[in-house]
């Protein structure tokens, strides 16, 4: 009975979202999970990103990012590259949370 209860707790009572978007910007490319380039226009981006003020607002892999103060707090470590051809992911920062989201679903897996 205890095993059944433990399984129910593990699978049906989620803690933190499995694909939360707490990110940390590292200093060197070799430290990063994903290399990112910031484009000027939203039509150039794979992902439209909205920076949130609190970790709990970064709900799922939907482009709402919370930048952590320490690398161990992050779900993903990113490195901002100087040129688009160096990047795994092209992003564009947006002004409103409703604008955030994926434009190129083929790269969705990079932030899972």
Strand partners, 66: 22
Q: Any idea which residue has 């919370």 for tokens?
A: 66
Q: What six digits make up the tokens of 68?
A: 């952590």
Q: What is the reported pLDDT for 20?
A: 65
- Determine the pLDDT at residue 89: 98
What is the torsion angle, in degrees rounded to the nearest 10, for the CA atoms of residue 61, residue 67, residue 69 and residue 70? 40
Percent of the chain's residues with pLDDT above 90: 80
Cα 27 from chain centroid? 17
Q: Summarize the confidence of residues 1-13 as an average pLDDT.
A: 41
**Cβ count near 92 (within 10 Å):** 20
Q: Distance between CA atoms of 56 and 63, rounded to whole angstroms?
A: 13
Contact 82, 95 (CB under 8 A): no
């Amino acid at each position: 009975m205890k095993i059944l209860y433990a399984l129910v707790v593990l699978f049906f009572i989620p803690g933190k979202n499995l694909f939360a978007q707490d990110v940390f910007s590292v200093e060197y490319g070799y430290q990063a999970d994903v290399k990112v380039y910031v484009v000027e226009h939203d039509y150039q981006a794979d992902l439209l990103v909205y920076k949130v003020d609190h970790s709990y607002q970064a709900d799922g892999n939907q482009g709402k990012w919370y930048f952590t103060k320490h690398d161990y707090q992050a779900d993903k470590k990113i490195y901002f590259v100087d040129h688009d051809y160096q990047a795994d992911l092209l992003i564009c920062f947006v002004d409103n949370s409703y604008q955030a989201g994926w434009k190129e679903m083929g790269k969705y897996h990079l932030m899972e």
